[in-house]
Amino acid sequence: MASSRSLNGGSLPFSSQRLLALAQQLSHYKPPPCSLDDGDEQERIIEETVGKVVSQVGVQESVTPIAQNPEKFKPKRAAVLICLFEGDAGDLRVILTKRSSRLTTHSGEVSLPGGKAEEGDKDDIETATREAKEEIGLDPSLVNIVTVLEPFLSKHLLRVVPVIGILTDKKAFKPTPNAAEVDEVFDAPLEMFIKDKNRTEEEREWMGEKYLLHFFEYETEKEKRKYIIWGLTAGVLIRAASLVYQQPPAFLEQNPKFKFPKIVDRNTVMR
**DSSP-based helix, strand, coil % in the chain, nearest 5:** 20, 30, 50
Domain annotation for the chain: domains and CATH numbers: 77-192+235-245 (3.90.79.10)
pTM for this model (two decimals): 0.80
Residue of 100, 1, 116, 96 lying closest to 50 (CA atoms): 116
Report pLDDT for 227. Answer: 97
Report pLDDT for 14. Answer: 81
The answer to whether the CB of 232 falls within 8 A of the CB of 239 is no
Report pLDDT for 206. Answer: 67
Report pLDDT for 193. Answer: 98
Q: What are phi and psi of 94, to 5 degrees?
A: -125, 140
Tens of pLDDT along the chain (271 residues) come to: 554 446 665 567 787 899 999 999 999 998 876 543 333 332 332 233 233 444 444 555 554 544 444 444 556 889 999 999 999 999 999 999 998 877 766 678 999 999 999 999 999 999 999 999 999 999 999 999 999 999 987 766 688 999 999 998 899 999 999 999 999 999 999 999 999 999 999 998 766 778 889 999 999 988 899 999 998 999 999 999 999 999 999 999 877 654 444 444 555 444 3
Report pLDDT for 7. Answer: 62
Q: How far apart are CA 81 and CA 145, in angstroms?
A: 9
- The DSSP secondary structure of 101-144, one letter per residue, reads TT-SSSTT-EE-SEEE--TT--SHHHHHHHHHHHHH---GGGEE
Report pLDDT for 15. Answer: 78
Residue type, 250: A
Contact residues for 130 (Cβ-Cβ < 8 A; gap 6+): 118, 121, 140
Q: How far apart are CA 203 and CA 25, in angstroms?
A: 34
